[in-house]
Amino acid sequence: MQSNAANGGAELDQLHLFTRKDVWQGFTQLVPLSFFVVIFGIAFGVAAVQTGLEPFPIMLMSTLVFAGASQFATLEMWGEQVPLVPVLITVFAINARHLLMGATLYPWLRHLSPAKRYGVMLFASDANWALSMNAFGRKEPGLGLLLGGGIALWSFWIVGTWLGFYFGNAIKDPVSLGLDMVMGCFLLSMIAVGPKNLRIFVIWAVAAGSSLMAYWYLPENTHVVVGALAGGTLGAFWTEKKK
C-alpha cells in the first residue's frame, strides 16, 4: 500500500512535464474550435481596416497581443490621437483574468524554468486554459495541452485577421450567425465535464452572478474582471479538503 501511494505521489510530481507529442496533441485537439476563431479574426480585420489601420500594424497587433476582446476595445478608442493611458488601462482590465489563470496553473508552472514558464503562458487563452485545468483535475499532464492548444488558437487568429482585411466583406456580422456564442458554449461544456460538488457550484454561481451585475451596472468590459476576481477569491479562501 505504501509503495502504491509513493508511486501515485511520484506520478503527480511529473504532471508539469510535457513533450513535443503532448504539444502536438494539444494543437490538434484545439483545431476544431480554432476554425471559429478564424471568424472572429476576420471580423477584427474588417473592423481594423474600417478604422483606417494599414495591414502591417493590424497583423502586428494580432501577432503580439493575441487578445480579441481587448483588440476590439482598442479599435473603438482609435483615432488621429490615440489616448495611450486609457488604452493601456482598458487592455489591462480586460486581460486581468490572465493573472488568475497563471495563479491556478502555478502549482505546475513553478517546476519549469522561467523561460519555459513564460513561454507557455504567452499562449494561454480561455479555451486551452480550461482544457489544461480539466487535464490536471484528472491527474493528467496539462501544460503540453496548454501550449499546443494556444499555438493553434494563436495561429488561426492571425490567419483570420489576414483574411479579414483582404476577404472579410463576406462576413460582416458574425453575431447574426450566432458565432459569438461558440466560446461561451465551449467553456460551459468544460464546466460540465469538470468536478461536480457544492464548492464548485457555489464558486461558479458567485462568478456568474457578480459578472452579470457588473455587466448591467459597471463600465463596459469590467464584467470579465469582476466575475473572475469574485470566483477566484472565493475559490482561494474556500479550499478543497485534502483526503
pLDDT digit of tens for each residue in the chain (243 aa)?
A: 434 443 444 355 688 888 899 999 999 999 998 888 888 888 888 888 878 888 888 899 899 988 877 787 777 777 667 677 777 777 777 777 788 788 889 889 999 999 999 999 999 988 899 889 888 988 898 999 999 999 999 999 999 999 888 876 565 565 666 655 555 565 565 566 566 777 778 888 888 898 889 889 887 667 767 877 787 788 767 766 655
Please report the pLDDT score of residue 9 as a whole number.
44
Can you give the C-alpha Rg of the chain in angstroms? 19
Q: How far is CA 86 from CA 53, 63, 102, 157, 239, in A?
A: 19, 22, 25, 25, 36
**pTM score:** 0.72
